[in-house]
Amino acid sequence: MTNKKDALIHSALDTLKIELPSWGFANTGTRFGKFLQPAAAVTLEDKFSDAGQVNALTGACPELALHVLWDLPGGVSDVQQVKTFAKKYGIQPGSINPNVFQDQQYKFGSVGNPDPSIRKCAVDHIVECVAIAQELNCRDISLWFADGSNYPGTQSIRHRIASFEEVLKTIHAALNPRQRLLIEYKPFEPAFYHTDVADWGMALLLARSAGPQAYVLVDTGHHYQAQNIEQIVAWLLHHRMIGGFHFNDRKYADDDLTLGSIDPYQVFRIFHEIHNFAWETNDFATVAYMVDQSHNLKPKMEAMIQTVCTAQELFAKAAIVDHDRLASLQRTCSLVEAEECFRDAFWYDVRPILREWRRNHGLPEEPMLAFRESGYLERMTSERRSRNLETVSTYA
């Protein structure tokens, strides 16, 4: 390392850990259908194997998020299998994601459902997910709700708020002292009139109502057009209420695109808020970085590698903003100088230093090239093709 910028970038990259999603390696689709990939993960072991490869190439992804109904259909009884795969592939289980949107009984909602018996089913499932997380030593339980309504007058919005508050307090009471609830929000889809947790303010109020171990989870795709996401991040940082991020990008609403593919400057601005907060408070520890993408067109593992490498680049750029100078320029309202100080970091080419960091850590300098030359994709295609083709009839 030859200068201060190099040192800042190396230090930042050492701290950046990104959780990968198990579902991002499997065949998924849209409401219109699926485009199957022959190398896609079919089993939970496949997912751990793929995540292990991405981590080996990038050095930044030690954990795999699990979706309980998809990855642990047997609930707590499947925990030992997860532990076995984690040890085999050197990847630890990350956040535990309940599923209270897929079962037919959740047609009119889960914890917001007017039927108390259905609310109880949702609570029981989420509490079991908390127990699974405790068995696997996982800190975070990540909650996303599809609850809402499609037509005016068909549901009491206020009654559903009360149901959410009651249920989240019950779930919070099941946490052990080191666990957290992360409450995600989304403006719409699948509910198109009102969504019960539609924005960061609703998520914030519900988290505060639930208890001190509940925080807000920001998905970078879950916002209306032109919304200032970094301002939301700043508010949540200020109130110590941000739990983490689901990384993706979007052109319209929730396109599930690779990080930075549409607006890398926005991701840089978000990372700057976090770096700036850490510079002022020396507090980085509570922010969890997670990928939430599942690609139907891009090759799945290449999309993951692309997202992680982009996150590393933008995180490194944000780390070299001259905070002292920027703060001084902000205080004097020196608009042009302040903006140029900010933009200088964004335009700085961090890729040579990132390659140096990778060399120092025994990683390939070009992860994507190393993956393509490894033969892993060809081996997985050969091993999994027939298993993936067997699923075609399910979606025909």
At position 32, the amino acid (one-letter code) is F
Can you state the angle between helices 351-360 and 4-15, rounded to 10 degrees? 60
Q: What is the model's pLDDT at position 2?
A: 65
pLDDT tens readout for residues 50-68: 999 999 999 999 999 999 9
d(CA 94, CA 17): 11
Mean confidence (pLDDT) of the chain: 95
State percent of the chain over pLDDT 90: 90
What is the rounded average pLDDT of the residues 317-339? 98
| CATH code of the domain made up of 4-395 | 3.20.20.150
CA distance 233 to 277: 10
When pLDDT is cut at 50, 70 and 90, the band that residue 31 belongs to is confident
User: How many C-beta neighbours within 10 Å does residue 247 have?
Assistant: 26
pLDDT beyond 90 at 394: no
| Residue 395 pLDDT greater than 60, yes or no | no
Q: What is the SS3 assignment for the chain?
A: CCCHHHHHHHHHHHHCCEEEEHHHHECCEECCEECCCCCCECCHHHHHHHHHHHHHHHCCCCEEEEEHHHHCCCHHHHHHHHHHHHHHHCCEEEEEECCCCCCHHHCCCCCCCCCHHHHHHHHHHHHHHHHHHHHCCCCEEEECCCCEECCCCCCCHHHHHHHHHHHHHHHHHCCCCCCEEEEECCCCCCCCCEECCCCHHHHHHHHHHHCCCEEEEEECCCCCCCCCHHHHHHHHHHCCCEEEEEECECCCCCCCECCCCCCHHHHHHHHHHHHHHHHHHCCCCCCEEEECCCCCCCCHHHHHHHHHHHHHHHHHHHHCCCHHHHHHHHHCCCHHHHHHHHHHHHHCCCHHHHHHHHHHCCCCCCHHHHHHHHCHHHHHHHHHHHHHHCCHHHHC
pLDDT of residue 393: 43
Residue 209 confidence (pLDDT):
98
Q: At what angle do helices 44-58 and 376-389 cross, to 10 degrees?
A: 160
pLDDT digits (tens, 9 = 90+) for 137-172: 999 999 999 999 999 999 999 999 999 999 999 999
Which residues make Cβ contacts (< 8 Å) with residue 190, sequence separation at least 6?
101, 146, 148
Q: What is the pLDDT of residue 284?
A: 64
Q: What is the pLDDT of residues 298-315, one digit of tens each?
A: 999 999 999 999 999 999
| Among 320, 324, 318, 350, residue whose Cα is nearest residue 338 | 324
- First-residue to last-residue Cα distance in the chain: 56
For 19, residues 6+ apart whose C-beta sits below 8 A from its C-beta are 61, 63, 64, 65, 94, 95, 288, 289, 290, 291
Phi/psi-derived region of residue 27, left when phi > 0, alpha when psi is between -120 and 50, beta in every other case: beta
Per the structure block, which two tokens stand in for 319? Answer: 């780390």
231: Cβ–Cβ under 8 A, 6 or more apart, which residues?
Answer: none
pLDDT at 360: 97
The rounded distance, in Å, linking the Cα atoms of 25 and 21 is 7
Residue 396, pLDDT > 60, answer: no
C-alpha 388/C-alpha 103 separation (Å) is 24
Inter-residue contact 242 to 236 (CB < 8 Å):
yes
Share of the chain above pLDDT 70, in %: 97
Dihedral sign, CA of 110, 66, 165, 256?
negative
Q: Identify the pLDDT of residue 54.
A: 98
Is residue 7 classed exposed, middle or buried when 0-12, 13-18 and 19+ CB atoms within 10 A define those classes? middle
Burial class (CB in 10 A: 0-12, 13-18, 19+), 251: exposed
For residue 286, the model assigns a pLDDT of: 80
* Domain residue ranges in the chain: 4-395
* The predicted structure's pLDDT at residue 34: 83
Q: For 168-193, what is each residue's pLDDT tens digit?
A: 999 999 999 999 999 999 999 899 99
Residue 277 is predicted with a pLDDT of 95
Is residue 222 within 8 Å of residue 249, measured between CB atoms?
Answer: no
pLDDT at residue 254, rounded to an integer:
81
Q: What is the pLDDT of residues 220-271, one digit of tens each?
A: 999 998 899 999 999 999 999 999 999 999 998 887 899 999 999 999 999 9
Looking at per-residue pLDDT, the higher value among 37 and 389 belongs to 37
Tens digits of residue pLDDT in 100-114: 999 999 999 999 999
Q: Indicate the length of the chain as a whole number.
A: 396
Cβ atoms 166, 122 nearer than 8 A = no
Residue 129 has pLDDT above 90, yes or no: yes
